[in-house]
A and B are shown apart, each in its own frame.
Chain A
């Protein structure tokens, strides 16, 4: 699901509550405790996709991106390793 989110978009606490199947109050608690990083603009909060990364993937956003980078090459890498391993030793 995380990969389907638009990385340029920001979300309201209500939208995040719906996505994570939490109550709105829980989302505000998470923001107040610093577990969910949000930006306060005037009287409202907005939450970037990068703040949601860990909750969906178990990874910080930079690590999620870094893993995606590796995965781009992984097909050919693993295929080559499999072929070499067949004749190893």
Chain B
């Protein structure tokens, strides 16, 4: 099971040790969480703006996240994956999911994804962290 993690979930896991994002990422429920190289770049800037220590982000990535490299220009990504999102700037998350061959995207930003189209065209399910944990519990 491969899961692409949106940046809001990564940042949430760094801000609270009792939130659903922390439970999902830091407790290492499963081993195949991915972010894209674009997300890495984005996360570093977000951490800086929110005064989150870079060490915390680096440690999380090193321990629990794998990075999938996307060798494309952001404008090409927006052209190809923009049809799956309501905000064109979120297109790189879809690209990350496709490049990492993810079956799931975990995000709090569900309203900005065309979840039916993503499921039908790409066979990727978009979940919030809590729903993904609930789903994983149902598999036990």
* Residues in chain A near residue B129, CB distance under 8 A: 67, 70
Interface residue SS majority, chain A: helix
**A63-B130 contact, Cβ under 8 Å, with A70-B19, A84-B45, A88-B41:** yes
B134 touches A73 (CB 8 A): no
B89 touches A74 (CB 8 A): no
The interface size of chain B toward A, counting residues with CB under 8 Å, comes to 35
Q: How large is the interface on A (under 10, 10 to 19, 20 to 34, 35 or more residues)?
A: 20 to 34
Give the one of A67, A81, A82, A86 with max B CB within 10 A. Answer: A81
Number of A-B contacts (CB under 8 A): 89
Interface residue A8 (Cβ < 8 Å from any Cβ of B): no
Interface residue A80 (Cβ < 8 Å from any Cβ of B): yes
Closest A residue by C-beta to B17: A69
Instruction: Apart from A73-B16, A83-B49, list 4 A-B contacts with CB within 8 A.
Output: A66-B130, A73-B12, A73-B19, A88-B74
Pick 18 A–B contacts, CB within 8 A, sort by A.
Answer: A63-B23, A63-B130, A66-B18, A66-B130, A67-B128, A70-B12, A70-B16, A70-B108, A77-B11, A77-B15, A80-B49, A81-B7, A81-B11, A81-B42, A82-B89, A84-B42, A85-B87, A88-B42
Contact residues of A with B, CB < 8 Å? 58-60, 63-67, 69-74, 76-78, 80-86, 88-89
